[in-house]
Structure 1
């Protein structure tokens, strides 16, 4: 599946090298639908609840809330697209939803990856500005600026995922005997370009920046004199969640990045042979599913690591249940009483 995020086994590789490994894909038809169905259900429920809590809670909305809310929205959109691929894999990669849906579904999936990494990068940068460079907070950290930046990221994610709109086709592939939805690049240079963009903009630039910010954040939090201030302790709780979400993101998407890099090496004929072709097909398939898992894990990280997010969610659902029991629709949002410190919200 050297075909960009989601798709059938790569026709280019199989035809070029005459490597027939169709039998090896039988396990995919059994395992993948079950696995993707599980992460889809968990991801839809989890991210929908996060957005519900964010939207229903009245009060101050921090910059980190805005970024993480957009991250949850991107994850929810992507999770809603997975059922199309579950049905497709069950029918051995036969696509029944037409070319427009083939392009739209994979456009959204591609946007999720780029938007996720950029939103997480912004959350980490936000923590860095709060803890390691507080003098820079005033000009760079505001709700209006954060919303504008999020809009730019959504547009950038769309532009970076344009190959799904331009080159996704639905055609019969003899190798897998299926009417498949896959990327048909007009030239291999396009595949190389996608791989390099995914590696550079989706990993090589954000990850070092995240590591730099994380290093200075941890350095500040480990300072005994700084830890005496209660405000810093509050920020520390927020930062623990942010760093946990970042670590899980890197863990989930690093294998996919490695497969993209290996595919680039294949393009330059640094590696070749049926074993590599087979390994890249299967490896990209598995690493893509692992990357999708990240979108279903984030909401549970908020609950597990975020003490104050649990409290916030409890207040929201308690209010909703009370309204339901009285037969009253909860038309208004919950007032969060006294305006708390900025980081006392979802990221805690």
Structure 2
């Protein structure tokens, strides 16, 4: 049962009456105990770093004197999606420290998991948007350049948030609180039937993996070819496009490294539960891999801000300019205060 609860924690594996027969399949007790002991620490570390780093990115993009470019609009929304994720994770850390006895109530059980699921959808579709933007900027700049405007970028982000929320509705509907004597009140996914479970898994795989990865792969391959071709020389006078593209490619690679293993093992798990794949030890290996790859995926939420600093020359420039901007304001305010104080003293004399 503990194994099943761990898997249902942050993934789409459900706990319900139809799954009780799978509770004790070849458990690797030592590895599960190690995972249970270290998960809360890992989650809290991801939370602290993720909140700090993504808040830093949002502050730079939002408070810089210059308006965000189209790519920066998408990347700032990506940072906001990551911030939503890491803000939800501490609730699950407390839940694990509390032996899976959910202390936050029925509504928070639903809302917290919707926030986590929205990140899985929104993050990848913000990357789809930024991939399409780079593709249009470098491959079809002359014919489709009019499509690239801040107004359309903001509209695309708004639609992405709405689409992510729409796809998270099954989580809001099927997340429930249930009492289990060994643990108390548990927050788990309770699908009404196996068919509904399969449909929800299919939606996850198709809309958060197959479709977006196909679009990203197509755009990325064409972007790389464009960067290598002589046609890209027209952008040499404006290195902003090239710098933004290099940053986007770095973010895409990090995302694929962190998220593709999770989606691949999710597909394997669906095949396993559908009876297409079988094996006691194989099932246990898939269960453990789901846990490990889930937390690898969450690591992506703190990698993006680090990449902005390491790879993003324009971002580093914005950081320096923002600090100079704040320093100038502080100096101006200090000078104004001293001037007012001096005037007051002269008047008093």
Contact in 1 for aligned 2:118/2:168 (Cα 8 Å): yes
- Paired with 2:301 and 2:23, the residues of 1 have a C-alpha distance of 36
- Paired with 1:22 and 1:171, the residues of 2 have a C-alpha distance of 26
Tell me, yes or no, if structure 1 residue 263 matches structure 2 residue 269.
yes
Structure 2 match to 1:211: 217
Using the size of structure 2 for normalisation, the TM-score is: 0.86
Structure 2 match to 1:336: none
Tell me, yes or no, if structure 1 residue 141 matches structure 2 residue 157.
no
What is the Cα deviation at residue 224 of structure 1? 4.1
- Paired with 1:321 and 1:11, the residues of 2 have a C-alpha distance of 58
Contact in 1 for aligned 2:16/2:189 (Cα 8 Å): no
Residues 209-263 of structure 1: per-residue CA shift (max 9 Å, x gap): 1111111111111124633742464322211110110111111111111121112
Question: How many pairs are equivalent?
Answer: 327
Q: What SS does structure 2 have at the residue aligned with 1:60?
A: coil
In structure 2, the CA distance between the partners of 1:3 and 1:189, relative to structure 1 (3 Å rule), is farther
Tell me, yes or no, if structure 1 residue 278 matches structure 2 residue 280.
no
- Paired with 1:212 and 1:199, the residues of 2 have a C-alpha distance of 18
Residues 253-275 of structure 1: per-residue CA shift (max 9 Å, x gap): 11111121112112320123432
Which residue of 100, 107, 122 maps to 1:93? 100
Which residue of 5, 14, 24 maps to 2:10? 5
Structure 2 match to 1:171: 178
What is the Cα deviation at residue 92 of structure 1? 2.3
Tell me, yes or no, if structure 1 residue 19 matches structure 2 residue 24.
yes
Structure 2 match to 1:227: 233
Q: What SS does structure 2 have at the residue aligned with 1:40?
A: helix
Structure 1 match to 2:117: 110
Which residue of 18, 32, 39 maps to 2:46? 39
Contact in 2 for aligned 1:227/1:233 (Cα 8 Å): no
Answer with 1 or 2: which has the greater Rg: 2
What is the Cα deviation at residue 17 of structure 1? 3.4
Q: What SS does structure 2 have at the residue aligned with 1:185?
A: coil
What is the Cα deviation at residue 23 of structure 1? 3.4
- Higher relative contact order, structure no. (Cα contacts within 8 Å, ≥ 6 residues apart): 1
What is the Cα deviation at residue 37 of structure 1? 1.3
Contact in 2 for aligned 1:121/1:210 (Cα 8 Å): yes
- Paired with 1:256 and 1:18, the residues of 2 have a C-alpha distance of 22
Tell me, yes or no, if structure 1 residue 150 matches structure 2 residue 157.
yes
Contact in 1 for aligned 2:28/2:284 (Cα 8 Å): no
Q: What SS does structure 2 have at the residue aligned with 1:172?
A: strand
Tell me, yes or no, if structure 1 residue 198 matches structure 2 residue 234.
no
Q: What SS does structure 1 have at the residue aligned with 2:21?
A: helix
Structure 2 match to 1:81: 88
What is the Cα deviation at residue 86 of structure 1? 1.0
- Paired with 1:272 and 1:105, the residues of 2 have a C-alpha distance of 33
What is the Cα deviation at residue 12 of structure 1? 6.3
Can you give the 5+ residue segments of structure 2 that lack an aligned partner in the other structure? 1-5, 335-349
What is the Cα deviation at residue 145 of structure 1? 1.2
Q: How do 1:298-317 and structure 2 match up within 5 A? A: 298-317=304-323
In structure 2, the CA distance between the partners of 1:18 and 1:249, relative to structure 1 (3 Å rule), is closer
Structure 1 match to 2:255: 249
- Paired with 1:313 and 1:126, the residues of 2 have a C-alpha distance of 23
Using the size of structure 1 for normalisation, the TM-score is: 0.86
Can you give the 5+ residue segments of structure 1 that lack an aligned partner in the other structure? 329-348
Q: What SS does structure 2 have at the residue aligned with 1:169?
A: strand
- Paired with 2:310 and 2:44, the residues of 1 have a C-alpha distance of 23
Residues 266-316 of structure 1: per-residue CA shift (max 9 Å, x gap): 232012343233223222111111111111111111001001201111221
Contact in 1 for aligned 2:13/2:189 (Cα 8 Å): no
- Paired with 2:187 and 2:14, the residues of 1 have a C-alpha distance of 11
Q: CA RMSD in A?
A: 2.4
- Paired with 2:102 and 2:237, the residues of 1 have a C-alpha distance of 54
- Paired with 2:11 and 2:64, the residues of 1 have a C-alpha distance of 36
Structure 1 match to 2:347: none
Tell me, yes or no, if structure 1 residue 288 matches structure 2 residue 269.
no
What is the Cα deviation at residue 104 of structure 1? 0.4
Residues 158-198 of structure 1: per-residue CA shift (max 9 Å, x gap): 01011221011111335x63422110111112221122111
Structure 2 match to 1:338: none
